[in-house]
Each structure stands twice: as C-alpha cells, then as structure tokens.
Structure 1
Amino acid sequence: MTNVLAMDFGASSGRAIVGRYEDGKIQLDETHRFENGPIYFEDKLSWDVEKLFSEIKQGIKNSNQKYEITSLGIDTWGVDFGLIDEYGDLIGVPMHYRGVNTEKILKRISDFISLQDLYDSTGNQIMKINTLFQILSIREYYPDQYFRTRKILMISDLFNYMLTGKMAAERSIASTTQLTNPYSKDWSKKIVDNFNLNAQLLPEIVDEGNQLGCIRKNLNLGDIQVINVCQHDTASAVLSIPATSPFLFISCGTWSLVGTELNHPILNEKALKYNLTNESGFNKTTEFLKNCTGLWIVQELRRNYHEVGIDFSYEEITEMVKNTKDTVCVIDTDDDLFNEPGDMRQRIAQYASDSQQKVPTGPGEFFKCAYESLAQKYFETIKEIEDATGKTYPEIHVVGGGSKSKYFCQLIANVTQKNVLAGPAEATAMGNVLMQLISLGEIKDVAEARKIVANSVTIESFAPLQKSKLVEE
C-alpha cells in the first residue's frame, strides 16, 4: 500500500487528506481540517500564511501518526501570491483577491495593450482579481514592496518553498495569472514586456509531477518528498473526473468553475465576448472554462444568520428551500454587489428591488434565490461554452462540495436539461493524490487514474425531471 498526503486548500477551508492506494482503489482519510479565510492586516484583506503553514505542519504530523507517508502535494485557489525579498523572506502578508484595489489599473489597461491582444496573448478571462492586475496594483500603490521583490510565488508555490526551500512555479497554478502563453503554457514575454515587468521575478515553470525535493530536515516532519501536483485546485479536480468521453464539468465550491477539457486553447471572438478562460491542466491540456461565483453567497448567508444567533445546517437549508414553493427572484451571482464579504440578505434585497423583482422575506426564500440563481448562471455559461466550442455535450460532471447536495444536482439537471453525474465530492484531493501516484510510478497515466476513481467512489446520476421555469421561454 502507498500512502500519499494531499494538502487541499479551498477559499474557505483546508484539509489534510491521506490517499491510500492498493489493489486499484484509492481510499481517502481526512487527518486534519481547519478554517481558511481572510484576515485584516494593516487594513488590507490578506491571507494569514504563517497560520496556514502551521496547519500544514499539523496535517503532516497527524498523518505521520497514522501512516507512513511517501509524498505530499499542495493545491490551492488561484491568482494570489507572496513576494520574496533578496534574503528569501516573505515581504509583508499576501493580499486576498477580494481586497486588492485593481479598479484604476483595469481602466488603464489600454495604455499597455488592447483587450483583444491581452486575451490573445494569455487566453485568460479578464477579471479584476487576476494576478497580473494585482501585481500592477502593488507596483502602483506599494512601490517599496514591489521593488524589494526578487521572486513572486503563487500561494501553493509559496507553501512548497516554505517546506523545501526550493522555488518553482507549477504550470497549472501559473496559468491563472494572466501572465502565461495559452499555447506554450510558459511565461508570456509579450505580457512581461508590454507591462514593463521584471521577468526575473517569475520563477521557472515546472510540470505537474515534478519531484521538487524533500521537506527540510529542520522542520522535523519526516523524510517526505514534495511533489508539484496540479496545484490549481480546479486542475486537480478535473484530473479526478471519471470520464471516458468529452465532458462538461462544474467544480463547485466557494467558486464554481464551469468548463470542458480540450487539447488546445480557444481564442475566437466568441470566447472573448463571453469572457471564457483557457487554463493549463494535466499534460498541458486546456481547461476551457469560466470562473463563476459558487457557494460563496450561500456561505455568506449562513454566516449572516449565524451572526444573529441562527445556525442552519446544509440539511436544514435544503429542507427550507424544498418547502419554499415559488421562485421569488433571480440574481446575477457574478454581479460586483456580491463580491465582498457582507450582509447578503441586504444585497439580494437591493438587487431584487433595483431589478423590480419581489424581495425575499425569510431564510428559505433567500437560500432558494441563491441556489436557483447559481443554476441559472451554470445554464447560461454552458450555452456560452457550447457556442464558443461549436460542440454540444450531453452530460455534466459536478464535483466538489456542491456535488453532495442531491437537491442542487437535480436542480442543475432540470435547469440545464442535461444529465448530471455527481462526484467525487473530494475531487480536488483525489486529483492531488492521483498526480502524486503518477509521479511515483504507481499509476501509468490519466486514463488509468480516471478508471481508478470510477472504481473507488460512487457516482450518482441525475436525469432532468422537468424543464425549470427559470429557463422557459
């Protein structure tokens, strides 16, 4: 039996999960769980990387107590990064993508490059949270930090550096930066030059499966090899999808990534019009997708009610939503109004009022609005992807936390009028584990990996029962 450790960071929580591989099956065992959320540092929304690194060490210790761990891989959300100075130390605290002021930078992009050229050069969806715009914002507002910087490390690369002392940029996480070429998957010289960036700040890009090195001995965590997995959590999740033919996917967590896996990027006019992104997956495949708000609004609603002394489990939320008969209002879940932490009830009410819809009045109506609006966003995004690719897909693989909700999966099937295959729920951790096993030579390739997933987890199927009123003409 081979035991490998996946450190899986989402935008709201993190877990240490041991993957145990034997006889063609993988068992996952969660050995540590912790909250992950922004902190305020010097009035800026930031990531507490020292705390998160201590959670990584605790996860390794807990796993070592139960198993003999061969290797470790870390996956995280995209776009955010840390700045390393000439002494190899972290400069300040990495800023959180929801707290970086990039508005003025975005308005001045045309001073450097046209939007068409920017898209053609990177293939990335143009979002204000993208790494490129964050770096330009730091150069504009915090020049002392920028000009002290010797290397820029994405969050997962930063954790790998803290574990091993070695700097590298894994390809899938680098592809979220709007700094890489969509064909070569390497740093784009054109973007670096056009924005007058210092190319020396960008570390060497390595492929997923690269064995970076062992954990530093002074950490006293054992002789464990650190492997560059598909470090963007979406890329890890897609790797674990047990499909044998072309497919659509929805990786549903705090964010929802809606897309398909292709052998080449798509940079046509429709892709730009719909603001679709091309990111790097396993073996330089292209994940053609859109980043959409996911369960973030549901999570914030739960937090809002908790703050007034009312706690709802997800099971209770589902029952409330089922018992709420009518659709009260539908919101654009990607509207800037819902981007920042805050009172989502007030914001939904404002959106409903501004769009001349009925305002929700109770928790059931607020949560139903959130779920139905998400399903509507998925439907619209899938139509865009099919239009841009010129392909029609009969089924959707829903993975991640959202796949555990039978109500939500059935709703997605009804709204999209496509079959939904739900699972694995721990898709990102599973993909992380699979990549380590491929690197170690335990698994041959992605085709074998996906067969192993099919043998290891239960995939539930949801056929559309009725056409949703949300999409009736």
Structure 2
Amino acid sequence: MATRVYLAVDLGAESGRVMAGLWNGRKIKLQEVHRFPNGGVPLGGTLRWNVLGLWQSIHQGLTLAARQYGKNIASVGADTWGVDFVLLNRQDELLGLPYHYRDARTQGVMERAFRRVPREKIFAQTGLQFLPFNSLFQLLAWQKQAPQLLEAADRLLFMPDYFHWCLCGSRVAEFTIASTSQCLHPLKRDWNRSLLKALGLPLRLLPPLVQPGTALGPLRPEVAEGTGLRGVRVIAPPSHDTAAAVAGVPTAHTGKANWAYISSGTWSLMGAEVAQASLTPRTLAYNLTNEGGLDGTYRLLKNIMGLWLVQRCKAAYDAEGKTYDYAELVRLAAAAPAFRSLVNPDDPRFLNPRDMRVAIQEYCRETGQPIPRTAGELVRCAYESLALRYRQVLGWLEELTGQRMEVIHIVGGGSKSELLNQFTASACNRPVITGPVEATALGNLMTQVRADGEVRSLADMREVIRRSSEMRRYQPADLDKWDMAAARFAALAR
C-alpha cells in the first residue's frame, strides 16, 4: 500500500514538536518535522504560557510537513501536558495569557476549597490526587483574584483543545485531558457539575466531552491555505501527553493489570492501566490519581517530580557558566558515592525553587544527611531518590490493584537514562523494559491510524509499536544495598 502520513503536535513543558508518522500497513516510522522551544514566560510577577508563539511554531511545522509529504497526509492531532487551560469569551477572544501550572497563585487555594467541600468528598467525586495546580484550584484562584475575567469567560479549553480550536474551530474537551482537571466524576465519566456548583464555579464554561479518536473536523480554510494541508482532518488523540504515552507502551498484556509503566521526563508518571477508577481510602491516603485513558481505561498513577530535579540543577550550573551536558552529568553521578544522601522528590520545596542545588542541600541538612556538593553527588542523589520513590509507589499500586507487577515499562525521554533505568530495576526488584522514547507521539499517531480504520484495537496499536520500536531490558542487581537504602528512604517519604 502507499504510505499514509499522520501528524502529531506534541507539546511538552520544555519543547514542542511536529512529528510525522509514516504508516505502511505494518509498521509506523517516526520523523521529526519541526522542533521548537517551550517554557514558562515570567510576566508581571506571574508565570504564563506563550500560546500565540506556540501556535506560530505549530503552523510552521505543519507548513514544513505539507512541503515534505503533501497529499499523503491524512490527519493531525495535538497532545500536551495536563491541567492548564485558556478562557475564551463568546466572540472566541482569548482572555489573557494562560497561567503556567508552576505559577504561585494557587498556593493555599486547596486549603480554602476544603473549608467549603471536605477533601474526602472532593476525592470521592473526582478520584484525583491533590496537587495545588489542578485545574479546579486554578479556577478557584481566578475566582478570587480576577472574578471579572471569569465572569466574561464563555468557554474553557485545555491546552490541546485550544490548539484543536486553532486548527479547526472545535470548542470541545477531549476526555483524557479533561480527566486531569479534578472537575470530572470518575464513575459517571462526565463533568461533576454538583461539585463545581458547590464551589461557586460557572458551569457555562464546560465544553462538551469527546473521546480519543473523535474526528473534530477539517482544518480551518485559512489554516489549510496557509500551510498547504488541504483535505486534512483533525483527529483528537489521547490529548493528555501521559495518556498518549501509555497508549504507546508496547506491552503484550493489554487488558491485564500485572504491569506498571513510568512515563519518564520532566515528570515521572508511574501507574497501572485499570478498568475502573480506584476510590478507596487507601488511594486517597497515598494521594494517587485516576486519569482517563484510551478505550475507557483509567490510569491509576502517581505524579513524581521526575527529571525536573536534574534539569533544574543543570540550569543552575548553566546560569553560572558551568555548562555540563546530560551525558557528563550521568558520568559524574555514576562515579559518585552510592546512597550517601537521599531526598523525597515530591517535597513541595522542589516544585519551583530558585536554585535546585540549594533546595536539595537544605533538605539534606535538615534531615541530618551528608550535604551533596558536587554535580555528580547532586545528580546521584536525585537518581537514587527517584528510583526509591518508584519502589514505594510500585508497592502502593500492587496493594490497590491486588496484582503483582511483573515488569515495569519505562517510556519517554527519560528512558534514555541508562543509569536511572538500572537503578529502577534494582530498587524495585523487577525487570525494566525501556522504549520507545517517542511513546507519546506514537500513542497520538496510532490513535489517528485507528481512526482511519487501519487497525482495530488498543492491543493492535501496541503490537504495531512493538514491531516499530527499539527496546532494552534491565535486570535487578545489588538487591541488599537497595533494600537498606529503601529503609532509609521510607523514613523521609512517609
């Protein structure tokens, strides 16, 4: 058959890409068409997203794709990080630049919300872990700080939904991205209007929900003309990047709960694919979350701070002119003393510190541990601490699902970190299978392939990804040493 081409707009916290998936009926081949930077923009004491700049870069990427693949392109879909959103008025005008989830305005909002609706009731009605930047708390921050803008708003669109609006004019919310908001009912799989009403939030903002794989419409005429992409449809993929990444996990055990995944990057999203949301008191106590996946599945998972710790250490060195590349940092970490200092990666001080190195050092000082001074010691501390956090979360997942996780799949950019992969296998005492690096793009693209009638099921999608990807296996080692370190870590991360 002739090669058909599908396009994924994949936006992460640090960069965005337009990726092409070349489908030959058996395998899918990825090609990066255009890459561009992303990140929070400081503005007037706040932190925002430059959505207009992102749209301009997406438009450029689509133009390049049209020149390269022309009439072979069938469809395009976007995925991004979760929780953040734009507000549009009735005339579809953007009401301000959207806030970045690391903006400080949501500090203290959760506690104010709990005074109106108890924490346990919010969890029972949403199934989400409590993070200060969840969309629910961002809306409550708007309600307090800028009520006039909230009153002027007519429609809330999450970030990928907004770029779908840019592409084709749709004003809907894709289910998996909406499920990150803490505004959905986990059993009804619809907006939790009673909760939003109890918190005084306007219901008119809520867009209709659509499932991944839904055709949203053709490109706007001006977009088709400007890019050269005529006759191309917009298909909603799993629009939350983690949902797309989990759809892209090349497991042979779809439909079983005996494997775990880590989508590894700026954040580490560790979880299991389950059929129903877990709403038990233990799930709440562990602060795990239930987010929507493909085909009605749920992602029972924990947000872990991830490689953000290393990225921000590197940024601090870069600012001083000490430019380490990541390969050098890993080499230095491998040579540093083992299990010298550990931190809880999810301590709130690590969310957005001015200097990550100082934040790690202060944590170690406060907990009576040796203070990591060198780049190697800091990165080793971060890697070992992440691996031990994975071990802890793995135990919670096994308890909540009643299943032993026989293998851990690591996908995403962090799967390239051989040292962290080995630490994870050893800390968790489970085989680790890594790859594909581009699981998010593959999950996005294969959903479009399925919407085009080329494959039938999620299991079929994953079989294609296994055939199309390189993977590597890591076996546990040094178990006694990791057991001892785990006992120390448990005292830090209760």
Q: Is the pair's TM-score, using the shorter chain for normalization, greater than 0.5?
A: yes
**1:109 aligns to 2:121 (yes or no):** no
Match of 1:267 in 2: 279
Provide the residue aligned with 1:204 in structure 2.
Answer: 208
Note if 1:242 corresponds to 2:250: yes
CA distance in 1, matches of 2:483, 2:137: 35
| Cα contact 1:414–1:468 (8 A) shared by 2 | no
How far apart, in 1, do the equivalents of 2:459 and 2:108 lie?
45
> What is the aligned counterpart of 1:96 among 80, 97, 100?
100
How far is 1:189 from its partner?
2.2
Partner Cα distance (1:2, 1:236) in 2: 20
Change (3 A) 1:159 1:100: farther
- Structure 1 residue 244 displacement after superposition: 2.2
Is the CA contact 2:243–2:293 (under 8 Å) kept in the aligned structure 1? Answer: yes
Residue 293 (structure 1) shift: 0.6
Q: 1:328 aligns with which of 315, 340, 349?
A: 340
Mapping of residues 365-384 of structure 1, within 5 Å: 365-384=377-396
Tell me how far apart the structure 2 counterparts of residues 96 and 199 of structure 1 sit (CA, whole Å). Answer: 23
The alignment status of 1:26 with 2:28, answered yes or no, reads: yes
Q: 2:158 aligns with which of 154, 159, 164?
A: 154
TM-score (norm 1): 0.98
CA distance in 1, matches of 2:221, 2:241: 28
| Distance apart, 1:368 and its partner CA | 0.7
Equivalent residue for 2:68? 66
| Kept after mapping to 1: 8 A contact 2:338/2:380 | no
| 8 Å Cα contact 1:170/1:207 also seen in 2 | yes
Question: Does the Cα contact within 8 Å between 1:185 and 1:284 map onto a contact in 2?
Answer: no
Asked if structure 1 preserves the Cα contact closer than 8 Å seen for 2:295 and 2:458, the reply is no
Aligned counterpart, 1:254: 266
State the distance in 2 between where 1:442 and 1:454 align.
16
Match of 1:390 among 402, 416, 419: 402
What amino acid is aligned across from residue 469 of structure 1 in structure 2? Answer: K
Deviation at 1:275, TM superposition (A): 0.6
User: Do structure 1's residue 179 and structure 2's residue 191 form an aligned pair?
Assistant: no
In the alignment, residue 233 of structure 1 is paired with which amino acid?
A: D
Structure 1: runs of 5+ lacking an equivalent: none
After TM superposition, the structure 1 stretch with the greater mean CA deviation from structure 2, 191-200 or 172-181, is 191-200
Q: Which residue is equivalent to 1:319? A: 331
Letter paired with 2:118? S
**1:461 CA drift (Å):** 0.7
Residue in structure 1 matching 2:464, options 434, 449, 452: 452
Q: Alignment length, in residue pairs? A: 473
Measured after TM superposition, the shift of residue 468 of structure 1 is 6.0
Runs of 5+ consecutive residues of structure 2 not aligned to the other structure: 488-494
Structure 1's consecutive aligned runs of 4 or more residues displaced over 4 angstroms after TM superposition are none
1:309-333 Cα offsets, whole Å, 9 max, x none, are 1222222112111111333211111
Q: Is the 8 A contact 1:241 1:424 kept in 2?
A: yes
Which residue among 443, 454, 462 is the counterpart of 2:474?
A: 462
What's the CA shift string for 1:339-364, capped at 9, x where partnerless?
Answer: 11521111111111011110011111
Aligned-partner Cα distance in 1 for 2:339–2:76: 46
CA distance in 2, matches of 1:471, 1:189: 46
Counterpart CA distance in 1 for 2:18 and 2:238 is 16
> Take 2:400 and 2:393, find their aligned partners in 1: how far apart are those partners?
11
Determine which of 304, 307, 313 is the counterpart of 2:319. Answer: 307
How far is 1:225 from its partner? 1.0
Say whether the 8 Å CA contact 1:298–1:367 is kept in structure 2.
Answer: yes
Contact 1:415/1:468 (<8 A) preserved: no
Aligned to 1:130: 134
Tell me which residue corresponds to 1:414. Answer: 426
Match of residue 357 from structure 1: 369
Q: 1:293–1:468: structure 2 CA closer, same or farther, 3 Å change rule?
A: farther
For 1:258 and 1:400, the matched residues in 2 are separated by 12
Q: Which residue of 2 aligns with 1:227?
A: 235
Q: Tell me which residue corresponds to 1:442.
A: 454
Conserved? CA contact 2:139–2:201, under 8 Å: no
